[in-house]
Amino acid sequence: MHPLRRVRIQPDMDFEKRLEWFRNECAAAGLPCTHQREVLYRALVEAKDHPSPEMLYERVKRKIPSISLGTVYRNIKIFLDHGLIGEVSLHHGSLRLEANNEPHHHLVCRHCRKMFDLPAAGVHAIRLRRALPEGFQVERFVVEAHGLCQECAAPKKRRSN
Amino acid sequence: MHPLRRVRIQPDMDFEKRLEWFRNECAAAGLPCTHQREVLYRALVEAKDHPSPEMLYERVKRKIPSISLGTVYRNIKIFLDHGLIGEVSLHHGSLRLEANNEPHHHLVCRHCRKMFDLPAAGVHAIRLRRALPEGFQVERFVVEAHGLCQECAAPKKRRSN
DNA sequence: ATATGTGCAAAGATTTTGCGACCCT
DNA sequence: AGGGTCGCAAAATCTTTGCACATAT
């Protein structure tokens, strides 16, 4: 056919690649790649708004009206456990508070989720390389250093240093 | 008395200053400074572990056994609304997800809490000024730029530019 | 004195889980 | 065929709220 037609970019091309990756990851993890999981994963890839489980449920239901919210939650957890998707904050689920009003950042253990304060003076000022999108007015930068705390990093039986 | 005695640092001195500030803030906001609020605020100042409402409830109950969890929640919300304390994450309350596995940071609107992605390339690498405490092993830095999005920054009636 | 806060308990919101039927490999 | 998943509904968490009484200024 017409050459111009053939090179036209497919909007779903990127998703097809991701889907292939997703299927490989599922196979590698021994996870059955069910229709529900594929549709849910697609909804996640296409979402640009960091959706909540409930929002995903609404979207997936348009494709699979019989799907249940429990399945959405179950699969989200499985995806997270296998690193197929990410969660925006490591501290959802319960409000966590602090009275420390000095500027500071946080160290967060990705395993036990304990948090430690990191005085702002310990981090060089954040500098942007390019303009922000969409007229967003930044008031402050909050840095979270994610990693493992001493306890969680230590092997179960520690032998020396 | 003995001069050395008189300069000894009081462990609560810092808290006393903060309590005074707290009382002034309450007065300025027209908030009655009740016993429950003072004890709750003290628990927050003394906490070093970014406590949840439930954890605070347990601690405050040791001083005021009759206090209710509802009061703890109510006052936490009031403290937050008046900027007397801070919350660790702007996204508690509901899990928020993303399939974007490219390194990136987030812009978060402190008002409507919408999030926008900020490619990692848009931010200079984070550099630490000093060693981290306690053997913490950092794997990655996550930056949140907090501020106001275009919609929330705009005055209700926009006139020009 | 009066407006506001408090304790209690019920309601609302969010997330997890047990169970029998069903689907991927 | 068989282990894991699905839909459903109940349970477990986390948070908010209405009401009658108590408290701060």
Model confidence pLDDT, tens digit, residues B11-67: 566 888 899 999 999 999 999 999 999 999 999 999 988 999 999 999 999 999 999
Residue A34 CA distance to nucleotide C23 C1' (Å): 8
Domain B103-160 fold: Dna Ligase; domain 1 (3.30.1490)
Q: Does B72 touch chain A (CB under 8 A)?
A: no
Q: Is the pLDDT of residue B159 over 50?
A: no
| pLDDT tens digits, one per residue of B108-154 | 887 777 888 888 887 787 777 666 766 888 888 888 888 888 888 77
**Strand intervals (E) in chain B:** 86-87, 97-98, 104-109, 115-119, 137-148
> Is A99 in Cβ contact with B85 (below 8 Å)?
yes
Residue A89 CA distance to nucleotide C18 C1' (Å): 29
CB A41 within 8 A of CB A79: yes
pLDDT score of A159: 36
- Which residues, other chains included, contact A132 with Cβ-Cβ below 8 Å and sequence gap of 6+? A138, B107, B118, B122, B145
CB contacts under 8 A, B 30-69 vs A, are 41, 44-45, 47-54, 56
Tell me which residue of A6, A38, A36 sits closest to A21, measured CA to CA. Answer: A38
> Across all residues in chain A, what is the average pLDDT?
83
Name the pTM for this structure. 0.81
Nucleotide with smallest C1' distance to residue A34 CA: C24
Residue A77: CB atoms within 10 A of its CB come to 12
What's the CA gap between B147 and B160, in Å, rounded?
22
**What are the CA-CA distances from residue B65 to residues A131, B39, B46, B54 (Å)?**
53, 12, 19, 14
Q: Do domains A15-96 and A103-160 have the same CATH topology?
A: no
CB A88 within 8 A of CB A108: no
Give residue limits of the domains in chain B. 15-96, 103-160
What's the CA gap between A88 and A91, in Å, rounded?
9
> Is B101 in Cβ contact with A138 (below 8 Å)?
no
B115 φ, ψ to 5°?
Answer: -120, 145
| Domain A15-96, CATH among 2.60.120.10, 1.10.3720.10, 1.10.10.10, 1.10.150.130 | 1.10.10.10
Tell me which residue of B97, B141, B9 sits closest to A86, measured CA to CA. Answer: B97
> Is B106 in Cβ contact with A121 (below 8 Å)?
no
Q: Is the pLDDT of residue A38 over 70?
A: yes
- Give the residue with greater pLDDT, A75 vs B90: A75
